[in-house]
Chain A
Amino acid sequence: MSAGFLRRLLRRPVAIACLVYLVLVVLVAIIAPIVLPNVATQNAGNLLEVRLGPSLHHLLGTDDLGRDVLQRLLVGTRVTMLAVAEATVVSLVIGVSFGLVAGFFGGWIDSVVTWLGDLTFSMPWIVVLLVVLAVFPQDLTATMVVFGVLLSPGVMRVVRSAVLAIANELYVVAARVSGLTRTYIITRHVLPRIAGAIIVQAALVAAGALIGESALAVLNLIVVAPAPSWGGMIADGVNQIVLDPWLIWPPGLAVIFTILALGLLSNAARDASSERWSRPAHIVKRRTRRGGSAGQNGIGRLGSESEALLTVEGVTVTVGTPPTTNLIEDVGFAIHPGEAVAIVGESGCGKSVTAMSILGLLPGTVEITSGHVVFDGLDLAACGENQLRQIRGSDIALIPQEPIVSLDPVFRVGTQIADVVRRHEHCSRRAAKRRALELLERVRLPDPKRIARRYPHELSGGMAQRTAIARALAGSPRLLIADEPTTALDVTVQAEILDLLREIQTSQQMAILLVTHDWGVVADLCQRAVVMYAGQVIEHADVSSVFREPLHPYTAALLAADPHHASEDELLPTIPGSVPIPGRWPAGCHFHPRCQYAAADCRKAAVPVISPRNDHETRCIHHEDLLATA
């Protein structure tokens, strides 16, 4: 057994408490019958003192034959623990060996063992045990051995999957290639690694065996009177329940505490053997704001005139409990009605965080800590969840990145669209269905009736994205947020989806915020571009100016690295280095470590937004150098 596992286990107070309790129980099982030799054969105690409650003389009272309950409980521990040990040992021996064999040899051996395990597992254990008891009346050992067999598939499965996982790891494969025997590999490399998993299972099996033993004792099938056992004492208590309900408590609690100790020990062993990944944070519907106002130098004056549909102003989004890390900082831009705006940048620059913060859909501890997201006069960053829900889908809708996973796998797509329609139009089911078909037709899907009856997994990527767009259109929104809507699609399908989006934008005067890293898509669809790098907007202008005359070295490098513009025999220029992750942003200009124009002043202080041209903003203080070399 690996020492690391034991150390991790013993660091847990719960595990120590459980182990101490279990050791005490085992000690009692060994010592009590020696110290109290007459109890096991005592047929009756003082018949004038039957069913006395707890007193100083009899700490746990007396039973219906005047015998001391505490003494019988202590002495009965041995029978009970022996039975539990028998079943546990049998099931560990069988489970571990079959699991090792199945996991290590695989193939048909694995299939047969797994099948046998499934078969055994689906047998009703108590029924099988009763058959055994019908054959071997009152034979506790035979019963517990069979019980051990019945409990072994659980152990077998765990060992098998642990071995499967380990057997494919490099060092085991290497050991096998270098010709070491399987037995050697199993004892040296595999067994120590699965010790934790085996302890987890052993504790659970022991708990199961204890429950089984008590159950059979309660059925009066394995009790050899007058020898006491915990289960037998529960059976006595049940028989006396009307006269003296107290009698079920001492043996019952002994059983329950022991099961509890085994269960908690098993949990602690599981935690200790696998430092489990914490669950992915789910979407939190609560939004808190810690005050703060728009950044002083936030980009956002551009187009932030009153006619803007959406104005993002100085938005900072953080993750974690204090100390928090900024995911985006001081982000600002605006979108006018019917306008298509692109957010461009490499992965990890904060494009999607910006997009999702507009919808107020930030996971876990991610939240907007300052700034405004003003939509149609309403600051969404200050809105509660209920208000936001009124906006989502009906004013601002989302076209997700991965169309197939964004559709619910267990509902027909027609139902999913109709649900959104009903939410926004409060119409009858039938009307919603009709509208869903219209929407599917609107996104130019052939045979909408047939598509509506399909499940997401029956759609191609392009069809799924059209369906997702249809759902986004269901609430007739004024702004569509499209988060890399074509990244997951084939090239030919990409063009079709872009055509569709452009057609929707022009014919319905719908504004689009497009998150992308593809300049081709930007040129194809958008009027304005917002370039982001490491959480900041670093350039913001109309698309033609950005293409013609980029004012930030990052934009220029990104444009140069665009495969659309590269000729075949030329090496595609790349930007050396990579985007720093949030929390590791350099002081000063975030881009300076990767920038060929970087000078001392770039490292010194945060670079403000400057507006060297009309309607063209940049976060580069050396944009003149860039222009000069271009």
Chain B
Amino acid sequence: MGVVLILVVSAISFVLLALTPGNAAQALLGPQGTHQEYLALRRQLGLNLPLYEQYWNWLRTAMAGNLGTSVISGASVGSQISSRLPVTLSLVIGSLLVSAIIGTGLGVISSVRRGVVDRVLDAIGLVGFAVPSFWAGAVLIAIFAVDLKWLPATGYTPISQSVSGWLESLVLPVLALSLGMIAVIAKQTRDTMLDVLASEHIKAAWASGLSPSTIYLKYGLKNAGMTVMTITGVQAVGLLGGTVVVEAIFAMPGLGSLLVNATATHDLPVVQGVVVVFTALIVAINLLIDLTYAALNPRVRTV
């Protein structure tokens, strides 16, 4: 599925981009180029070949690690992507960690305590569902950067430059991205935990005199873990999309802003490269989820 997804997405975007009026040869030459120059450059870039051959050529070089060069800056697409990957990965991993930890915690507490915690969780769920991450980001900037001046409003500090600066630059965007995920994960954890806690084996665990912490945190959570992992995986796909907008709001030089700029400037090789890398990231996340799932569920492993 993963490989197929990468192939399909890259092929679709390739075909779509090839449909675009005007091509890279024209863009490179600019209005001054003659028709002869255009034809020569077109041959040189392989743009005169049939579409499937162009795609095959692109795929071959891409598999060798060469994603082509930017039409606008002339820089290699691969190097642009690799210089921006750490920003996006910091955001994605940070948000996944924050929302998984807080979401699972809230979910467990509300499955055990019910009552008030339940209603608070429902409220958070509604807010998380209704407030888009980019708007939450804007409000966070208005409060914590403009008003209180606690944290930087925009930008990104590489971890190699300053660890504390890196953390400070991540707090607000990660919060903005996590809000919705926390709510979804917490709700899912609560519902699954309630089902697990009603099961025969948990009843047997109570009958064995095990302590509540063992029952909730060890037996309950590991059983609920599988469902929580699945929902986290689904959320991660949305999270990658979210980084695109949140990077724009916080002016962070990540893959998302690279993609947005390339889209705005019609830099098709860059668009194509970023799309493939994004899809590969999704495949990687799903693989990771599958592996964790197998680690949590012995029945997947042995059957």
Interface residues in chain A, defined as those with a beta carbon under 8 Å from any beta carbon in chain B? 118-119, 122-128, 130-135, 137, 207, 211, 214-215, 218-221, 234, 237-238, 241-242, 245, 248, 252, 255-257, 259-260, 263-264, 279-283, 285, 359, 361, 363, 389-394, 397-398, 400, 402, 405-412, 419-420, 423-424, 455, 457-458, 468, 471-472, 474-475
Contacts and interface: CB of A to CB of B under 8 A. Distances in A.
A408 B198 CA distance: 12
Contact of B279 (A124, A137, A285, A468): A124
14 contacts: A123-B282, A124-B237, A124-B279, A127-B275, A134-B17, A134-B262, A211-B132, A215-B134, A241-B146, A248-B138, A283-B206, A285-B212, A393-B207, A419-B210
A241 B132 CA distance: 17
**Sorted from nearest, which 6 A-B pairs have the closest CB atoms?**
A393-B209, A398-B207, A245-B142, A392-B209, A126-B241, A406-B204
B17 A242 contact: no
Given A127-B278, A263-B129, A400-B200, A410 B207 contact: no
Most chain A CB neighbours (cut-off 10 Å) among B8, B195, B199, B218: B199
Given A123-B5, A124-B241, A393-B210, A407 B194 contact: no
Contact of A131 (B13, B218, B222): B13
A435 B81 CA distance: 56
Nearest to A360: B206
A142 to B, nearest CB: 10
B286 interface: yes
A419 B212 CA distance: 13
Interface string B105-132: 0000000000000000000001001111
A219 B263 CA distance: 10
Given A218-B134, A245-B146, A475 B275 contact: no
A283 B195 CA distance: 11
Given A134-B271, A215-B132, A242-B146, A408 B219 contact: yes
Contacts of B262: 134
Contacts of A245: 142, 146-147
Nearest to A468: B204
A320 B16 CA distance: 63
B205 A408 contact: yes
Contacts of B197: 282-283
A409 B223 contact: yes
A259 B245 CA distance: 18
B32 interface: no
A247 to B, nearest CB: 10
B123 to A, nearest CB: 12
A389 B203 contact: no
A451 to B, nearest CB: 14
A410 B242 CA distance: 34
Given A134-B271, A260-B126, A423 B210 contact: yes
B142 A423 contact: no
Most chain A CB neighbours (cut-off 10 Å) among B4, B153, B237: B237
A135 B16 CA distance: 7
B240 interface: yes
B234 to A, nearest CB: 8
Contacts of A285: 212
Nearest to B272: A131
A392 B141 contact: no
B266 A409 contact: no
Nearest to B297: A410
Given A123-B5, A221-B264, A130 B244 contact: yes
Contacts of B275: 127-128, 131
Interface string B291-302: 000001111001
Given A127-B275, A134-B262, A409 B201 contact: yes
A388 B63 CA distance: 64
Contacts, number: 222
Given A359-B207, A400-B207, A406-B204, 8 more contacts: A127-B259, A131-B16, A131-B17, A215-B245, A218-B134, A391-B209, A392-B209, A405-B200
Contacts of B302: 455, 458
A423 B209 contact: yes
A256 B130 contact: yes
Contacts of B279: 123-124, 127
B97 interface: no
Contacts of B248: 218-219
Interface residues of B, number: 76
Contacts of A237: 138
Contact of B244 (A127, A242, A248): A127
A457 B298 contact: yes
A515 to B, nearest CB: 13
B240 A124 contact: yes
A138 to B, nearest CB: 10
Contacts of B260: 130, 219, 221
Nearest to B126: A260
B285 to A, nearest CB: 10
B249 interface: yes
A122 B237 contact: yes
A130 B271 contact: yes
Contacts of B1: 118-119, 122
Contacts of B82: none
Contacts of B199: 405
A432 to B, nearest CB: 13
Contact of B271 (A131, A220, A400, A474): A131
B207 A122 contact: no
B139 interface: yes
Contact of B208 (A260, A264, A420): A420
B138 A406 contact: no
A408 B201 contact: yes
Interface in B201-249: 201-212, 214, 218-219, 222-223, 226, 237, 240-242, 244-245, 248-249
B130 to A, nearest CB: 4
Contact of B245 (A134, A219, A475): A219
Given A124-B241, A127-B278, A241-B146, A260 B130 contact: yes
A256 B205 contact: no
Most chain A CB neighbours (cut-off 10 Å) among B207, B218, B249: B207
Given A124-B282, A132-B16, A359-B207, A234 B138 contact: yes
A389 B211 contact: yes
Nearest to A266: B129
A118 B298 CA distance: 25
A424 B20 contact: no
B208 A259 contact: no
Contacts of A472: 208
Given A132-B16, A455-B302, A398 B263 contact: no
B256 to A, nearest CB: 8
B20 A134 contact: yes
A411 B219 contact: yes
Nearest to A215: B245
A119 B4 contact: yes
B288 interface: no
A406 B203 contact: yes
A406 B297 contact: no
B299 A457 contact: yes
A122 B5 contact: yes
A207 B8 CA distance: 27
B9 interface: yes
B91 interface: no
B34 to A, nearest CB: 27
Interface string B184-203: 00000000001101111111
B159 to A, nearest CB: 25
A126 B244 contact: yes
Nearest to B4: A119
Contacts of A124: 237, 240-241, 278-279, 282
A354 B62 CA distance: 70
Interface string B131-167: 1101100110110001100000100000000000000
Contacts of B8: 119
Contacts of B129: 207, 259-260, 263
Contact of A255 (B132, B204, B271, B274): B132
